[in-house]
Structure 1
């Protein structure tokens, strides 16, 4: 109990007198004018401590407990205010989803910033990294960035990520994204598709419908045409009945980005052949 009482007295004294309470014992080394001022403060401190010692112990400990709670609440409010004042919580840090959804690609850091609803030009990893041990937001940013970097190593996507691919990956591993970002990306890039899952489905369908009587090269060509058509329908909105479908041009553009030039008319012919090969009662 004695230790608790002394701890309470020390805490309450320091809370009332601040730094002065810890230096009044070193008066001998100070100039006379400062020593006189501190001597007066020391007398007040000793008087305050005497008052505390004369209090009922339970009353003193209750006061100590209440003061601790007040100080903890004040510290919390200071922390919250500091967080509210940080650059990434200012209006200028909010992302322009319409603009970024139209970008051909995002970098990893841009994608992570957008996943939090932040403008990648304003909220950068260079600014966030020094805060990762001080801020809950910065810590969450760091962890999500780590997941994205690991995904690049496993070829989930590359350093330059199509927006629709990043959104698909985030959904796959249950990362919450701003709904407005998802909507804007899907307006531009189509529905988010799990390409690995689509590949496995196509592979299973092809294996189930394998026609052994045909030469291997013919089967492979027909399977690839069917796969291309299926992907064109799912990812590029290809309509086999429409002569004006933009899907062939979109696919040609995607190939061109990777250094392969193919005439959209050729791709339209492939899609037509693939559609004829697919089961018609699908």
Structure 2
């Protein structure tokens, strides 16, 4: 059975060959807040710690098999060297942008557009996390240069942030600013869907407006029909009252309303005296009599 010291040596050997890190380097990251606090370094430290935990739980036989498999490989399994040279490790997996998620956003802020244009996850790679970093780091330089470019574009009024993703991609293509190919495709695809949806909404709104206009025309026609019917009834009412009840619209006083009320009541029709008087007054004001009839009624008062 392998000793504890031998097991520890096997674990360190596997970590060195697979990840290029040892316990000493891992502890050094944790002891250096400036380097360890960045998302990429945290991601690597978390991942390697988890892998180390798996190794430490292996039986000596399983660990020896793992070491034997690695020894058979000609080249060690390591992360790219340049990833370790960057103290922020923004090449970590959790820094990769989620294109499907961001292509569906209604807008991008300036910092989100900066990160996405460099193929990084905006929620992980932020201006705040880079502002105090070593600007000599390759990615930090690229990020700050790209952000400065976009700030100038905004100041010039060419783009306004927050910006619609399709507008940003179209501008980038016009300027031959290289963007992640998959992000560009998804944004164009989403923009096409959005444009189709906007067109359908516009067509729907136009149809609703047309329907509303037709309703208004219909309501106007109905109102006109009701006015015509009311005017006709007033003419009939006034004419029958004049010839049937000897009503004189030019005479003072009103004796026929009571008579009409009685006649209607004898037929089982209940209409009050005041209602009849009101309608007589309205009819007298709204209906224009023939000049000869008007002269005849006025002559009767002499």
TM-score bracket, shorter-length normalisation: 0.3 to 0.5
Q: TM-score w.r.t. structure 2 length?
A: 0.39
Larger relative contact order, structure 1 or 2 (CA cutoff 8 Å, min sep 6): 2
Q: TM-score w.r.t. structure 1 length?
A: 0.41
Structure number, greater radius of gyration? 2
